[in-house]
A and B are shown apart, each in its own frame.
Chain A
């Protein structure tokens, strides 16, 4: 149990550390690096503690239920392979943190750097320790994300931004493929659990979905590990700070791809498909990367291409499909991480101390930094595969595997030659790295005078180089057991015999090594003239740039094609869109009419029509048609006519037994009209022009089309309404409400009881909507200046103001006040009357038509009247309405009433009811619905008044045309 918690700690600890670091102040470099160091060191320690259990038990598993219903558990699993990676991630992480403490300049935000680095470490731990494929993909994508942030750490640098974007695009797209691949594998096996999947190799290989799953998984792995043709993102990722390059882009993250190949090796490898997909990719990457590395002028660029080449080597080894090759692959993963991390750190030191990493400027640095130079030389020799260093051993194993026969094909037979060629290239670029930097004449025009770095900045390199030597000289004692565990876990079966000795006698691989070393030296010497020119691109491949291809593809996909599609299928014109929506609705509506005969007249006898009702609707129709006709040129008339149509609706409600609806409709009608009247003055004046009087053919056609649509909608709704109304009412849920409204809801007005009791939750949502709308209106108008008035002040107002202006004892506006004296008085006196009426409407609501909503609008009308009577300034001098508080209070009260039911152990908004007898007034219902309704009331008052005041205040502001200078 303790071990299992340790596994969990390995993943959780870095994220926790990241969280702590991220909240540190910007300048807390020491605190941040100390936290990071503590986290990485403890992670390393925990990893070491886990080693005995891993060796003994095979695989150690921590499992917590996450979404067990879909087979997704938070499973962490440590076996030899995962352990080796965890050790790399934590160990190199600790060294990188130490190094970064000195590397990150004091003016850079160090906490952000360390927080991201730790978060990446957590994600990487997650990848290597995941015991579930879905979980693995999740962490996989996380590493892409944090890599993106870390590459873009110096986000003021456009190269960093572009590199980050490119890396994210490529690796996240690959991650998506991997996700689908994992789903396919999970589908084939029937489980996402890694232990189950690893045991189901035969099932997977026999499945018809094997090839698609394999291709998708390989896409994920190849993008992540920068395999050809996806390798181009890695050199651009070198815009990241060097500790990131050392950690993510050589030692850990780019190894995730080959880790995945190794992880799934037992279930995917060994087939012809695997061989012919993986080996060519690995081989191309190996040779191409090594070739391009020779010609890089940037130190980090050289290392990046060398990393690509080495990743290709590992991929190639895994692709061969023989257990021995897999052992070599795992061994090389370890060796490469060690020497490449130290080389990156050395490059970072050179950059740090000289101010440049351009090989054309650097030379003869050995005299300034002999210690760093010696360390770099050892590491570079390991990279080149010089004997007695770790790189030699795994390269020797690689040569042996290249020589060995796997499939007998032409590709297989040509491997030794390509391997030797890549070996020659790697010797050449290693030589260039060392010779170009440290030897030759003393450097001129360097930005800084170089010197040795701080003691502890060099320490990580020293340690790594010592390990290079130890492994190289005493492989069997140092790395032997670890490698055996890791390789056994990767291969999934007993290991074949292999020897880690330095000396195997005179063998073909040794000969290849010798050829590579000698050939590399010759190649470098013969290329020096070419390199001295300092061209940017290598011979044979001038003009081929991955970045340009990538940019072109991105441009085509995300801009050209997208635009073309939009132009083909889309429109920005709202009318066209709405026409389509209405047209689709009409079509959908008419289908049942045509195919199901829904338009037939039902059996229910119709109610005889009264003449007054006919007359009412004659008016209603006239109003609606008139409004439709007048809305373009005569807005006020159209508004009045719409009001008429609203009133007809209102009377219809009363007529047909819906007093609540009528009351609400009437009140809302009033407020809406006031609202639109307030807004009307800012709409532009519209005068019929020549075009309007004699519309063109296209306009007429458009109108005709709209008219047909409108008539179709009208006919459709009429037919439906008639068809339904002439059929008897079936049994509905209404019975429930009618029967229990009084008995359980304690009110006689069924509609009100439904709203505040049975369906109180709906009402709660509804008032929330109202609240949001009011706040939106408030927010939109708060700093808004309206358009200029569409009309100049009317004649009467101008005369009145001119008169006021002339008279010495009058202010502008006095005449208007005089004129309005009596209406003003009436409106003021109406204030208390309307308040009483609002209370009345509120209190009777539960039993008779009324209720919180109607009462709220009544009260807001009382406020509106005050504004109308005294103007905005006048009204606000006497009256302070705080609509936001009314709203907040209302929402709170409704919510608390609902939550009160929890106290008594009932669900939200369960109501309780009883009658209380008050003197004079008599029995009034005191249901818990009452405070709820009070909340509705308060909120409606607040929202309505807020909207109206926001609109009214616009008249106080200058229009956009007359903006005061400096007022923004």
Chain B
């Protein structure tokens, strides 16, 4: 599973970076999303992979870290998802505004 996830992260990130370097704004948005998935999965993977061990306690229990998946990267990724959403929204609006004002969807605001 580690191998597969590692490859998956790499491919997502590669596809994301490729799109990020393209000249059209829409490509950049999609690229950011893909790169965002890759980075979130990467951070998440830093807590190592566990199957069927969600970090949810029984009531009244002092948790034992060995029994659960690491909750810290999860909390970080949760934050990252939210910020990623905000960034996508803002970027989309900037794209729309740039398109409206410059008449092009090139990232530089003009065709070359």
Q: Are A749 and B23 in contact (CB under 8 A)?
A: no
Q: Is A597 an interface residue (CB 8 A)?
A: no
Contact A661 B74 (CB under 8 A): yes
A608 on the interface (CB 8 Å rule)?
A: yes
Partner of B21, one of A679, A706, A755, A780: A706
Given A649-B41, A657-B55, A668-B81, are A614 and B27 neighbors across the interface (CB < 8 Å)?
A: no
Q: Count chain A CB atoms within 10 A of each CB in B22, B48, B71 and give the residue with the most.
A: B71
Q: How extensive is the interface on chain A, given as a class?
A: 35 or more
Known A604-B48, A657-B50; contact A686-B30, beta-carbon cutoff 8 A: no
Given the complex, which residues of A lie within 8 Å of B49, measured CB to CB? Answer: 607, 656, 725
Query: B77-111 CB contact bits vs A (8 Å, 1 = yes)?
Result: 11101111111111011111101100111011000
Residues of A424-467 whose CB lies within 8 A of B: none
Smallest CB separation, B78 vs chain A (Å): 6
Per the 8 Å Cβ criterion, residues 865-909 of A in contact with B are none
Distance from B16 Cβ to chain A, minimum over Cβ atoms (Å): 8
Is A553 part of the contact surface with B, judged by Cβ < 8 Å? no
A847 contacts which chain B residues (CB < 8 A)?
A: 56, 59
The reply to whether B95 and A734 contact each other, CB–CB distance below 8 Å, is no
Given known contacts A574-B107, A606-B2, A668-B81, is B65 in contact with A742 (CB within 8 Å)?
no
Chain B residues numbered 51-66 whose CB sits less than 8 Å from any CB in chain A? 51-65
- Could you tell me the distance in whole angstroms from the C-beta of A777 to the nearest C-beta in chain B? 5
- Residues in B1-60 with C-beta less than 8 Å from chain A: 1-27, 29-31, 33-34, 37-38, 40-42, 44-60
| B34:A652 contact, CB within 8 angstroms | no
Contacts of B42 in A (CB 8 A): 717, 720-721
Mask: chain A, 700-726; 1 = CB below 8 Å from B; 0 = not: 000000110111011111111110111
Give Cα A743 to B63, complex, Å. Answer: 9
Contacts of A649 in B (CB 8 A): 37, 40-41
Q: Which of A393-401, A555-563, A621-629 contacts B (4 or more CB under 8 A)?
A: A621-629
Cross-chain contact A684 with B30 (CB below 8 angstroms)? no
- Asked if A608 meets B69 with Cβ closer than 8 Å, knowing A621-B8, A631-B27, A638-B30, the reply is no
A665 within 8 A of B: yes
Which of B7, B82, B83, B89 neighbours the largest number of chain A CB atoms within 10 Å of its CB? B89
B21 CB, min distance to chain A CBs, angstroms: 4
Instruction: Please determine whether A672 and B88 come into contact, CB atoms closer than 8 angstroms.
Output: yes
Complex Cα–Cα for A676 and B90 (A)? 11
Question: Nearest CB to that of B48 among chain A residues?
Answer: A729
A776 within 8 A of B: yes
Of the residues B17, B44, B54, B72, contact of A659 by C-beta under 8 Å: B54
In this complex, what residue of A is CB-closest to B103? A787
Contact of A734 among B24, B57, B71 (CB under 8 A): B71
Query: Contacts of A656 on B, CB cut-off 8 Å?
Result: 44, 49-51, 69
Q: Which chain B positions have C-beta within 8 A of A787?
A: 96, 99-100, 103
Q: Is the CB of B99 within 8 A of A714?
A: no
Per-position 1/0 for A932-966, Cβ under 8 A of B: 00000000000100010011001000001000000
Q: Which of A174-182, A206-214, A298-306, A575-583 contacts B (4 or more CB under 8 A)?
A: A575-583
Q: Is the CB of B29 within 8 A of A676?
A: yes
Could you say which interface size class chain B belongs to? 35 or more
Contact B62 A725 (CB under 8 A): no
In the bound complex, how far is the Cα of B25 from the Cα of A575, in angstroms?
11
| List of A residues within 8 angstroms of B14 by Cβ | 710-711, 713-715
Interface contact B68-A714, CB-CB below 8 Å: no
**In the complex, are the beta carbons of A686 and B24 less than 8 A apart?**
yes
Q: Is the CB of A683 within 8 A of B57?
A: no
Q: How far is the CB of A682 from chain B (nearest CB, A)?
A: 6
**Quick one: closest B residue to A765, CB to CB?**
B79
Given contacts A754-B71, A755-B75, 13 further A-B pairs with CB under 8 A are A607-B51, A655-B51, A661-B77, A672-B89, A680-B26, A711-B14, A717-B42, A725-B2, A734-B71, A742-B61, A748-B59, A787-B103, A848-B56
Report which A residues bind B (CB closer than 8 A). Answer: 572-575, 578-579, 582, 604, 606-610, 613-614, 617, 620-621, 624-625, 627-628, 631-632, 635, 638-639, 642, 645-646, 648-649, 652-653, 655-661, 664-665, 668, 671-672, 675-676, 679-680, 682-684, 686, 706-707, 709-711, 713-722, 724-726, 728-729, 732-735, 737-743, 748-751, 754-755, 759, 762-763, 766, 769-770, 773-774, 776-777, 780-781, 784-787, 847-849, 853, 943, 947, 950-951, 954, 960
List, sorted by A's number, 21 A–B pairs whose CB atoms are closer than 8 Å.
Answer: A609-B1, A610-B1, A621-B8, A632-B27, A642-B34, A658-B54, A658-B77, A676-B88, A683-B25, A684-B104, A717-B13, A718-B9, A734-B65, A734-B72, A738-B64, A738-B65, A751-B78, A754-B71, A773-B90, A849-B56, A960-B100
